[in-house]
Homo-oligomer: A and B are copies of this chain.
């Protein structure tokens, strides 16, 4: 993960040399001959370099490695626009930082950066953590910012679609295998299926088999699928009670044969005598359900 850096640090030539792998003598020679750097000076006359200078030196070294002569490499490096970045020292795993980077990339429609952030996440930690510590909070935040008008519809769409693609990528094959079977769907009119996908992934990680009908599924289709697939669990998710209410009677009738749950923000107010209600963090809810 790459963070922007407060370019306050002033390095002396030895440190610049250590970080860049270029000897102090050579650094001075490059300055003298090509004006590659213009370090400020300490009161006593020692050179003080910025982190940008470090990047410049690295760039020059790379050009030399590419076969350019020193002078040409310097000319190129001197006028290149540099973005000072640094590997996070806390590279461990800082959920807030990653979330921020994800938000930045998404807002800027920077798809590669967003994908890279997710790639890095998946490499560094478990799927559960990615989902519950980063993606779910990010989605929540995105919703809030959208409601507050801080995010355009285009940005929201961009982010949703990118994440949907990624999550469905992770989901590939979740309908396979011998575990208990869960059927997931959003009712007619509901198009927010990301939370449901996250829930499905968490369930999958717990050994379940997932059948996903996705957004905007008519009641009849849900019932039909239950009949033909005979899942151990049916989850219907929506963001508002109005969308959920029309489905409830039919679900109640199913509840004899199989476990049925309502999920999402819309499930909050609907009581479930026979129906389970899952309104918390999708991963935690998956844990709860899987543990039964």
**Chain A: residues with CB nearer than 8 A to chain B?**
3-4, 7-12, 14-15, 18-21, 42, 46, 48, 58-59, 61-63, 66-69, 71-72, 75-76, 80, 87, 89-95, 109-112, 115-116, 119-130, 133, 152-154, 157-158, 160-162, 164-166, 168-181, 185, 191, 193, 204-209, 211-218, 220-222, 224-225, 228-229, 232, 290-292
Shortest distance between the CB of A218 and any CB in chain B (Å): 5
A-B pairs with the 9 shortest C-beta distances?
A177-B207, A111-B175, A165-B168, A58-B178, A93-B122, A153-B221, A154-B221, A154-B225, A112-B176
Residues in B neighbouring A206, C-beta threshold 8 A: 176-178
CB pair B177 A171 closer than 8 Å = no
Q: Among the listed B8, B93, B95, B222, which residue makes an inter-chain contact with A76, where contact means beta carbons less than 8 Å apart?
A: B8
Q: How far is the CA of A218 from the CA of B80 in the complex (A)?
A: 42
Shortest distance between the CB of A59 and any CB in chain B (Å): 8
Cβ contacts A to B, 15 pairs, < 8 Å: A3-B66, A10-B72, A14-B67, A15-B69, A91-B205, A93-B119, A109-B228, A111-B173, A112-B173, A119-B129, A152-B225, A158-B211, A165-B169, A173-B205, A177-B290
CB pair A177 B175 closer than 8 Å = no
The answer to whether A91 and B123 touch (CB under 8 A), given A76-B7, A109-B228, is no
Residues in B neighbouring A15, C-beta threshold 8 A: 67-69
CB pair A213 B166 closer than 8 Å = no
CB pair A214 B157 closer than 8 Å = yes
CB pair A211 B109 closer than 8 Å = yes
CB pair A173 B221 closer than 8 Å = no
CB pair B212 A89 closer than 8 Å = no
Shortest distance between the CB of A92 and any CB in chain B (Å): 4
Shortest distance between the CB of A62 and any CB in chain B (Å): 6
Shortest distance between the CB of A98 and any CB in chain B (Å): 10
Residues in B neighbouring A185, C-beta threshold 8 A: 154, 157
Residues in B neighbouring A154, C-beta threshold 8 A: 185, 213, 217, 221-222, 224-225
